[in-house]
């Protein structure tokens, strides 16, 4: 699928055509998941009307265990719908392109886990059936709420009762015989043919999805859901990547800004350490932190993986924060302004000499320890 097509299909900017196309994909996935789930647990998981009716029957018959299973399915559907609303509204407030792709990504991950773990759970029937029903009901609620919010409650992908009802309404209007003369008081009864085609298409796709899901589960077992997960991942991929790239660019910009501020504060601490107005304890801390940060040689060389950047990324910023807290705010503002005006950053050769001495001392200690505790060195 072209990148632009996928971006328009599941991105933040919507169009009626994109809504109908996305609903078609999701109807197919819902039909496949519902039919495959029935073969797995002998229960349809998108039919909340049937589940609530079954709960009433179980209550009347005193079957408390089955009643609780139905309640778990109902609450899972509700939780899926609520999760979809939370993800969409959060992404909308954050101005993300993946506003509607995030629920699809979560649905794909759940189907992927179901396909990979379903075979192992099959050996634990007491856990397998309730867990499967709850996961699939969660997925149905997640998907139905997402397409509902996209289309402003005009399209459903799992609620076939509503869709078939709407088809019947449109057919009734289509075959209505307008015998009387029409006027403003009595407008003609006309069917919405585009809506009728859309509803018929969604029901058909749900049916064919059910056939594919049932055949896939019959031949491949739980692995059949991996193809559905892959389809949803493809649909959601482009908007999520767009947001990741934009977020990465913002993080990089913020990181560069933070690094400039740390370097400015290091220079300011260097000035503070030389100013008699700075308290002695703050002066000592500022001298220690600024001297190390301005040294041309690091105590931990940068070529050492991970640890080589520990001092620059963690230790120096923490030391800067500690030293700044010890300096009066008015003085610190003055030092920062002077650091910005100076432009060129100083260097500390004394700190570099101290670090070299520490390296030599560490090497001597390490050699002594090796000579003492490594046998073949003692024999030589």
Q: Does residue 30 sit in the same domain as residue 140?
A: yes
Count CA atoms closer than 13 A to 297's CA, side-chain side. Answer: 12
- Same domain (yes/no): 374, 257: yes
Across the range 146-156, mean pLDDT stands at 80
Q: How confident is the model at residue 89 (pLDDT cuts 50, 70, 90)?
A: very high
Residues 219 and 346 in one domain: no
Judgement on whether residues 298 and 329 belong to the same structural domain of the protein: yes
Average pLDDT for 315-342: 87
* pLDDT tens digits along 183-225: 777 788 888 898 899 999 999 999 999 999 889 888 888 788 8
The residue out of 207, 233, 249 marking a domain boundary is: 249
Closest CA to 6 of 73, 85, 97, 69: 97
The per-residue pLDDT for 187 is 83
**pLDDT score, position 208:** 93
Residues 237 and 309 in one domain: no
| Cβ–Cβ < 8 Å for 99, 88 | yes
- Read off the pLDDT of residues 254-300 as tens digits, 9 standing for 90 and up: 888 888 888 888 888 888 888 888 888 888 888 888 877 777 666 66
Q: Which of 70-74, 154-158, 333-337 has the lowest mean pLDDT?
A: 154-158
CATH number of domain containing 165: 1.20.1250
Phi, psi dihedral angles at 112 (to 5 degrees): -65, -45
228-267 burial, b at 16+ Cβ within 10 Å, e below that, comes to bbebbbbbbbbbbbbbeeeeeeeeeeeeeeeeeebbbbbb
Instruction: Please enumerate in sequence order all residues whose Cβ is within 8 A of that of 368, keeping only pairs 6 or more positions apart, or say none.
Output: none
Strands (E), 91-234: none
Give per-residue pLDDT as tens, 9-42. 888 888 888 888 888 999 999 889 888 878 777 7
Q: Residue 370: what pLDDT?
A: 66
Mean pLDDT of 296-322: 72
338 and 237, same domain (yes or no): no
- pLDDT tier, 308 (very low <50, low <70, confident <90, very high otherwise): low
b/e per residue, 329-358, with b = 16+ CB within 10 A?
eebbebbbeebeeeeeeeebeebbebbeee
Q: What's the CA gap between 259 and 269, in Å, rounded?
A: 15
Name the DSSP class of 346.
P
Residue among 192, 115, 215, 198 nearest 157 (CA): 198
Whether residues 160 and 300 fall in one domain: no
Cα separation, 113 vs 226, whole angstroms:
9
Domain count along the chain: 2
pLDDT: is 318 or 346 the higher one? 318
Q: Is the pTM of this model over 0.85?
A: no
Q: Supply the pLDDT for residue 111.
A: 87
Higher pLDDT, 328 or 124: 328
| Between 114 and 306, residue with greater pLDDT | 114
Same domain, 291 and 226: no
Domain limits for position 355: 253-379
Quick one: pLDDT band at residue 301, thresholds 50, 70, 90?
low
Domain end (from 234, 249, 264) = 249
- pLDDT tops 80 at residue 173: yes
pLDDT value at residue 56: 92
User: Do 131 and 68 share a domain, yes or no?
Assistant: yes
Residues 213, 194 within the same domain: yes
Residue range 85-103: average pLDDT? 90
């Amino acid at each position: 699928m072209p990148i632009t097509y996928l971006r328009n299909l599941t991105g933040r900017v919507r169009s009626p055509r994109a809504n109908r196309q996305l609903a078609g994909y999701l109807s197919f996935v819902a039909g496949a998941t519902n039919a495959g789930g029935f073969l797995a647990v002998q229960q349809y998981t998108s039919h909340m009307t049937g589940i609530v009716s079954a709960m009433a029957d179980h209550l009347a018959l005193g079957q408390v265990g089955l009643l609780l299973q139905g309640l778990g399915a109902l609450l899972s559907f509700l939780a899926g719908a609520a999760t979809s609303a939370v993800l969409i509204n959060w992404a909308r407030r954050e101005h993300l392109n993946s506003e509607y792709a995030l629920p699809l990504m979560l649905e794909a991950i759940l189907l992927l886990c179901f396909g990979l773990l379903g075979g192992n759970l099959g050996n634990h029937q007491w856990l397998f059936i309730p867990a499967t029903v709850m996961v699939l009901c969660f997925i149905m609620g997640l998907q139905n709420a997402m397409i509902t919010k996209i289309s402003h409650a005009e399209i459903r992908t799992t609620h076939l009762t509503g869709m078939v009802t709407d088809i019947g309404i449109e057919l009734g209007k289509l075959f209505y015989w307008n015998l009387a003369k029409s006027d403003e008081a009595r407008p003609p009864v006309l069917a919405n043919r585009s809506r009728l085609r859309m509803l018929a298409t969604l029901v058909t796709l749900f049916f064919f999805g059910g056939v594919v899901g049932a055949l896939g589960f019959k031949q491949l077992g739980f692995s059949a859901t991996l193809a559905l997960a892959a389809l949803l991942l493809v649909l959601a991929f482009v908007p999520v990547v767009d947001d990741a790239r934009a977020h990465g660019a913002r993080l990089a910009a913020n990181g560069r800004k933070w690094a400039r501020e740390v370097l400015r504060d290091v220079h300011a601490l260097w000035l503070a350490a030389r100013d008699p107005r700075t308290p002695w304890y703050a002066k000592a801390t500022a001298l220690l932190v600024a001297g190390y940060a301005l040294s041309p040689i690091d105590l931990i060389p940068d070529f050492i993986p991970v640890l080589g950047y520990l001092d620059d990324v963690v230790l120096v910023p923490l030391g800067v924060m500690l030293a700044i807290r010890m300096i009066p705010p008015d003085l610190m503002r003055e030092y920062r302004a002077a650091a910005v005006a100076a432009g060129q950053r100083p260097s500390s050769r004394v700190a570099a000499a101290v670090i070299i001495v520490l390296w030599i001392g560490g090497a001597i200690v390490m050699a002594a320890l090796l000579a003492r505790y490594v046998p073949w060195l003692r024999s030589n």
